[in-house]
Structure 1
Amino acid sequence: MSSFTIERQTPTTSLSIAAVVLWVSFVSLGDCQTTPAPITPCSAHKNCDTCVPHAKCLWCFTTNNCTEYPVSWLLPPSSVCQLSQARWGVCWLNFEALIIALAVLGGTILLSIAVCCCCCCCKKRPSGPDRDEERFARKREEIKQRSEERKVERKARHDEIRRKYGLMVDSDHPYSKFENE
């Protein structure tokens, strides 16, 4: 039987192992540096498919060449290429249509944001009756009250006329009809 001895690690040995691992990782990171790929000029591209994937390049079908996209201007000047003949990003969509599509998309997004904001503002208004509804309800109540008052006055006048002509059965009245019992 062979016996294995297990060494007990002390904090200093674990610390030294950690230091060695850290040193190796720094050394290995220093050796893994990559050099950036050389940037090819736009004029080196000979067709639209190789030119337009680069964001700084613009393909012109009029001259069939790839030129640098003039980033100082949002739209390339007509001296570089006409908008209907310029391609940027994809070959199947001309620059003019791209601008129109982006403008429509941006307008749609802004309009939908405005509609959402209006809907949110309308929902925050109290759901109870507003001032106009309250005012109309008060007027309706006043009209109803005046109508009731007029009705009571009319009934009082009619009763007075009935009493005057003896049409009302009243035990106090001397000319009341005799009832058969």
Structure 2
Amino acid sequence: MSALSLVPPRLKMSGGRRASVTAALFFFFILCDFLRSSQAQTPTPSPAPAPVTCGQRSNTSCEECLRNVTCLWCRPTQQCMDYPVRNILPPGSVCPLTDARWGVCWVNFQILIITMSVLAGVIIIGVLICCFCCCKCEKTGNKREDAKVERQTHARKARQKARRSEMQLRHDEIRSKYGLAKDNPYARMDDH
């Protein structure tokens, strides 16, 4: 007696299903083994070095100072300092705007502010022009659409009116043919 004969008939699988289940289990075990081995090979992380403050980067280079986005470089004094976040612009007592560098070393802070303001203004004006043009195009498009719909409505009403008058003529012909036509529509019918 084989092992398959002991399995109840409703639990027996065809050859194709058995092969696919076997393949799925095989790949599952390979995946589990891979995950287990990758966890065993993962080294424990070493403690991160203490971050270098902006003040410690003074008397180095502008590039070294500006690696940290919170730092501000003052070119004449060769000082790297924390950006004064309480003020939008660094005050002149900290460093003049023409000598201050933030973000990139090749542009001073004053030119950076002017450039960003001009770009923001151009973008805002561009968006407003696009909105204005879209609204204007939509209005003219709606006017055209409304005129088209109105023409179609007038044409439909004219066709309905023509059909009604044609139908009325046919009904009048039928009434006159069978003697049902009345000279006076308000006269009573005579019972003969």
Q: TM-score, normalised by structure 1?
A: 0.55
Q: Could you say what the CA RMSD is over the residues aligned between the two structures, in angstroms?
A: 2.9
1:68 aligns to 2:82 (yes or no): yes
Residue of structure 2 equivalent to 1:40: 52
User: In 2 relative to 1, CA 114–11 (structure 1 residues): closer, same or farther, beyond 3 Å?
Assistant: closer
Residue of structure 2 equivalent to 1:99: 113
Residue of structure 1 equivalent to 2:41: 28
1:84 deviation in Å? 1.8
Residue of structure 1 equivalent to 2:95: 81
2:25, 2:61 → 1: CA distance? Answer: 65
Residue of structure 1 equivalent to 2:128: 114
User: In 2 relative to 1, CA 18–89 (structure 1 residues): closer, same or farther, beyond 3 Å?
Assistant: closer
1:42 deviation in Å? 1.7
SS in 2 for 1:59: strand
SS in 1 for 2:140: coil
2:126, 2:99 → 1: CA distance? Answer: 32
Q: Which has the larger radius of gyration?
A: 1
**Structure 2 residue ranges without an equivalent (≥5):** 1-21, 145-192
Q: TM-score, normalised by structure 2?
A: 0.52
Number of equivalenced pairs: 121
SS in 2 for 1:58: strand
1:96 maps to a residue whose letter is Q
Aligned partner of 2:72 among 49, 55, 58: 58
